[in-house]
Amino acid sequence: MTRRSHLILCNGALKKSAPAKYARNAHTVELTYDAVDPTKANVAIGLPGFVSSLYHLPPRVLDLLEIAAYVFCTDRWLKRGAKDLVEYDAWGRAIHYAIRVRDHSFWSSKKVSDLLGNAITWATGDRSHTFTFAPGHSTPATGLFDSAEFHVESSPDTKIALFSGGIDSLTGAVRQLKQESGPLCLVSHRSSTDVQKTQRVLLEALDSRYPGRIRPYAFTCRLKGKRAEEETQRSRSFLFCAIAYALSAAHRLDRFYVYENGVTSLNLPKREAMGLARASRTTHPRTIRLFEQLLTQVHDGDFTIETPFFWMTKTEVLRTLKENGGSDLLDTSVSCTRTFDNTDQKTHCGGCSQCVDRRFAAVAAGLSEQDHSGLYTSNIVNDTIDDPETRTFVVDYLAQAKEFATSSADRFEHICA
């Protein structure tokens, strides 16, 4: 089976700057957010507004944000294989990016380019993500304070964490605010209006409990004038990490925090067909280490991505939320991967893998009243499961739980290998 390659031209890069095999034969897409003339844009990247909130970011960090944004938009622009494909490796795409950048000597070095490509290829489960960088890119200053002499005020006890509005990131924020006293910068990706609403409500609730300590930073990145062809969003963690790194650089910090439980991060395939891009690796330990290696190069020094919840299950995360006085916020958080199908009254589909995991974990943590059935379109606990895909998710979940419960330590190690 012949699988087509894709060439993505960004920031006005020309096709001739890409390797000949892509320039001649690949399916070509041009992406631009055009900070000078927004009418030409087919993606929305909120770089000017984000930079304004931090006064100034150096060229290399601006490049990182644009690269991550283009990768994310490409991930949504290009359809993977159909769900019922027998060859599940057909989900993998070969993508080459030609991008004009500011710090050309840095990004065009083989070490950096290889680190970037390897990290994104692993995180997305695609066949390949490769890059060619061209010089000459620039964007206008965002204002009078967009200069190296201006920087945000920070303090040694400032912490930076990713904040999606899901259970894990909410629990991380609640625990941080409860147990420490410094400012907490929460990094979010602004895409759909539903996600924005969830994040806004939670941020307002946290700010009311811990006045003056929350510093929200949102970065807009989405397709413009086009409905996404692909909803898996395997590259979203790279975008999140790029945003968090930019914020860390502005605050002169050498780390940020990713709150995700280890079971979700490892995401062990529940059946043979759940391989490669069909199983998310967005916060897998290898993904985190690869991003760390890349950010260490960008940082010109050691940089760390902390994962405090890696040794927890979802149930243990929920118990942590309860112990730190945040269980009443549970029904406001959103874990669903199909938010575009939900309503204000039903914030979760109830049938995707994240919803199934959430429902079992809430019952195990004694929080089923807070995570009540009214949040879910499909009630897998009490109702007949008619949807075949939902039924498969539930059966896979229970089968894996049974296998883990009856496995020896050696058998579990073999499963994880």
pLDDT of residue 1: 34
Average pLDDT of 1-17? 85
The residue with tokens 């994880």 is: 416
| Nearest CA-CA partner of 375 in 317, 407, 332, 312 | 332
Q: Which tens digits make up the pLDDT trace of 133-174?
A: 999 999 998 888 888 888 888 888 999 999 999 999 999 999
Q: Which tens digits make up the pLDDT trace of 120-129?
A: 999 999 999 9
- Name residues whose C-beta falls within 8 Å of residue 355's C-beta, 6 or more positions apart in sequence: 335, 336, 337, 348, 349, 376, 378, 380
> Structure pTM?
0.92
Element containing residue 294 per DSSP (H, E): helix 285-299
| In the predicted structure, residue 86 carries a pLDDT above the cut 80 | no
How far apart CA 329 and CA 168 sit, in angstroms, is 12
pLDDT of residue 342: 60
**Between residues 6 and 353, the one the model is more confident about:** 6
pLDDT of residue 400: 85
| In the predicted structure, residue 310 carries a pLDDT above the cut 70 | yes
Lowest model confidence (mean pLDDT) among 119-128, 182-191, 398-407, 408-417: 408-417
* Bridge pairing between strands 43-45 and 214-223: antiparallel
CB 104 within 8 A of CB 13: no
Lowest model confidence (mean pLDDT) among 57-66, 290-299, 404-413: 404-413
Residue 266: exposed, middle, or buried by beta-carbon count in 10 A (0-12, 13-18, 19+)? middle
| In the predicted structure, residue 83 carries a pLDDT above the cut 50 | yes
pLDDT of residue 195: 73
How far apart CA 72 and CA 243 sit, in angstroms, is 12
**Between residues 38 and 64, the one the model is more confident about:** 64
Give the number of residues written for the chain. 417
pLDDT band at 89 (very low <50, low <70, confident <90, very high): low
pLDDT band at 4 (very low <50, low <70, confident <90, very high): confident
Tell me the percentage of the chain whose pLDDT exceeds 70: 91
Lowest model confidence (mean pLDDT) among 178-192, 236-250, 319-333: 178-192
Instruction: List the domains of the chain with CATH numbers.
Output: 5-134 (no CATH), 159-306 (3.40.50.620), 335-416 (no CATH)
- The gap from C-alpha 145 to its chain's centroid, in whole angstroms, comes to 30
Q: Which tens digits make up the pLDDT trace of 218-263?
A: 999 999 989 999 888 899 999 999 999 999 999 999 999 999 999 8
Lowest model confidence (mean pLDDT) among 80-94, 115-129, 302-316, 382-396: 80-94
State the chain's mean pLDDT as an integer: 90
Phi and psi at 96, nearest 5°, equal -120, 135
* Bridge pairing between strands 94-100 and 128-134: parallel
- Name residues whose C-beta falls within 8 Å of residue 219's C-beta, 6 or more positions apart in sequence: 46, 50, 65, 187, 188, 189, 190, 239, 243
* Bridge pairing between strands 304-306 and 43-45: unpaired
CB 19 within 8 A of CB 132: yes
